[in-house]
């Protein structure tokens, strides 16, 4: 279960509007980026949300990876996007591929502001301590 989880919140996306509103186009771009990064797509869901009074609906592009997943959510009325790339590193370290995938999508969406986060998942900071039962010596009893 060890892995790397990358997220990015993008604001001020200057990309072509279709990347924020056309689920099929965004999905194909995601699949191409997955392949270019050396990851393996094993499934996908591309969904368009309905337009609102604020503008065209956003899209979600999700690619299930043999190594874990990629998910992109868009808000065209805000020129905003959230990106989520998670790779498990069981059997091999896919971290460089995760960064390559994230960087390809960041380049495509061309945001003025990007907040990036990286989380190492599944690693224990220290050995877990045994849970203490309420009746153990020294435990408080209500």
Q: Is residue 88 annotated as a catalytic residue, yes or no?
A: yes
Is position 75 within any domain?
yes
Q: How many domains does the chain have?
A: 1
- What is the phi-psi region of residue 95: left when phi exceeds 0, alpha when psi lies from -120 to 50, beta otherwise? alpha
Q: Give per-residue pLDDT as tens, 29-40.
A: 999 999 999 999
Q: Is residue 129 annotated as a catalytic residue, yes or no?
A: no
Q: Give per-residue pLDDT as tens, 101-119.
A: 999 999 999 999 999 999 9
**According to the model, what pLDDT value does residue 90 have?**
85
Domain that holds residue 46: 3-121
Q: Give per-residue pLDDT as tens, 60-108.
A: 999 999 999 999 999 999 999 999 999 998 889 999 999 999 999 999 9
Q: Is residue 99 annotated as a catalytic residue, yes or no?
A: no
Catalytic-role residue among 5, 30, 68, 94: 68
Q: What is the 3-state secondary structure (H, E, C) of 98-125?
A: HHHHHHHHHHHHCCCEEEEEEEEECCCC
Is position 142 within any domain?
no
Quote the CA–CA distance of 24 and 12 in Å, as a whole number.
22
Catalytic-role residue among 71, 73, 95, 99: 73
Is position 127 within any domain?
no
End-to-end CA distance of the chain: 38
Token pair, residue 88, equals 């498990």
Token pair, residue 30, equals 């995601």
Is position 132 within any domain?
no
Is position 130 within any domain?
no
Quote the CA–CA distance of 4 and 118 in Å, as a whole number.
7
Catalytic-role residue among 15, 30, 88, 94: 88
Is position 128 within any domain?
no
Is position 67 within any domain?
yes
Instruction: Please tell me the chain's helix, strand, coil percentages from 3-state DSSP, rounded to the nearest 5.
Output: 25, 35, 40
Is position 63 within any domain?
yes
Q: Give per-residue pLDDT as tens, 12-34.
A: 999 999 999 999 999 999 999 99
- DSSP symbol at 97: H
CATH code, 115: 3.60.90.10
């Amino acid at each position: 279960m060890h892995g790397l989880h990358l997220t990015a919140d993008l604001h001020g996306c200057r990309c072509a509007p279709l990347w924020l509103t056309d689920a099929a186009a965004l999905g194909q771009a995601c699949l191409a980026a997955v392949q270019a990064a050396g990851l393996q797509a094993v499934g996908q869901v591309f969904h368009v949300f309905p337009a609102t009074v604020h503008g065209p609906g956003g899209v979600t592009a999700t690619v299930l990876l043999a190594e874990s997943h990629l998910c992109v959510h868009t808000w065209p009325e805000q020129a905003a996007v959230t990106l989520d790339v998670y790779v498990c590193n069981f059997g091999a370290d896919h971290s460089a591929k995760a960064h390559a995938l994230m960087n390809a999508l960041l380049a495509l969406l061309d945001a003025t502001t990007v907040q990036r986060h990286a989380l190492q998942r599944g690693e224990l900071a220290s050995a877990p301590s045994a849970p203490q039962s309420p009746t153990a010596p020294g435990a408080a009893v209500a």
